Amino acid sequence: MDSLGTRIRKLRKEQKLTLEALAGDRLTKGMLSQIENDKAKPSMESLDYIAERLGVKASELLEEVTSSSIRQLLEQVEILFAEVKRGDADHHQKIVDLIRPSIEGLPLSYEAGRLLYIYADAQYEAGLTTWESPLQQARIIFKEINLLSHWFKTFVLQMTIFAEKRQYKLAYSCILQAKEIIEQEDYQLDSRDALLMTYYSSVLQLAIGEHEEGKKLINETIANAHKNQLFYKIDDMYRIGAYCAMIDHDFEQAEHMFMKLEQYRAFAERVQVDALIFILRAHYYNNYKLNYEQALIEIERFNELIHEDFEILDANYYYAEKGKSCYLLGHYEEAKAAFEHFTKKPIFISHPYDILALNECFSYKALCYAHFGELTTAYDIAKMAYTDSLELVDLPYKHKIEEVYRTIKAQIDSIS
Per-residue pLDDT reduced to its tens digit, 34-45: 999 988 888 878
- Percent of the chain at pLDDT exceeding 70: 96
Left (φ > 0), alpha (ψ -120 to 50) or beta: where does 127 sit? left
Q: Quick one: average pLDDT of 183-201?
A: 92
Measure the CA–CA gap between 223 and 241, rounded to whole angstroms.
12
Q: Quick one: average pLDDT of 203-212?
A: 96
Q: Quick one: average pLDDT of 182-187?
A: 91
Measure the CA–CA gap between 213 and 125, rounded to whole angstroms.
32
Each as own residue / partner, the long-range contacts of residues 112-115 (CB below 8 Å, 24 or more positions apart, any chain) are 112/70, 112/141, 113/138, 113/141, 113/142, 113/145, 113/147, 113/150, 114/74, 114/78, 114/138, 114/150, 115/70, 115/73, 115/74, 115/77
Measure the CA–CA gap between 212 and 192, rounded to whole angstroms.
24
Q: Which helix H or strand E contains 245, and what residues bound it? A: helix 234-247
Q: Which pLDDT score is estimated for 378?
A: 97
Candidate ranges 102-116, 160-174, 298-312; pick with highest mean pLDDT: 160-174
Measure the CA–CA gap between 268 and 227, rounded to whole angstroms.
18
CB 77 within 8 A of CB 95: yes
Instruction: Calculate the alpha carbon distances from 181 to 175, 176, 393 in Å.
Output: 10, 9, 29
For 257-316, write each residue's pLDDT tens digit. Answer: 999 998 887 777 678 888 889 999 999 999 999 999 999 999 999 999 887 666 667 899
Measure the CA–CA gap between 29 and 123, rounded to whole angstroms.
41
Q: Which CATH architecture has domain 4-62?
A: Orthogonal Bundle (1.10)
Q: Taking the C-alpha atoms of 359, 297, 334 and 416 in order, what is their torsion angle to the nearest 10 degrees?
A: 30
CB 241 within 8 A of CB 259: no
| Model confidence at 56: pLDDT above 70 | yes
User: DSSP of 404-415, one letter per residue?
Assistant: HHHHHHHHHHHT
Q: Which pLDDT score is estimated for 229?
A: 86
Backbone angles phi, psi at 43, to 5 degrees: -70, 165
- Mean pLDDT (the chain, rounded): 91
Q: Please state the domain extents for the chain.
A: 4-62
DSSP at 267: G
Backbone angles phi, psi at 15, to 5 degrees: -95, 5
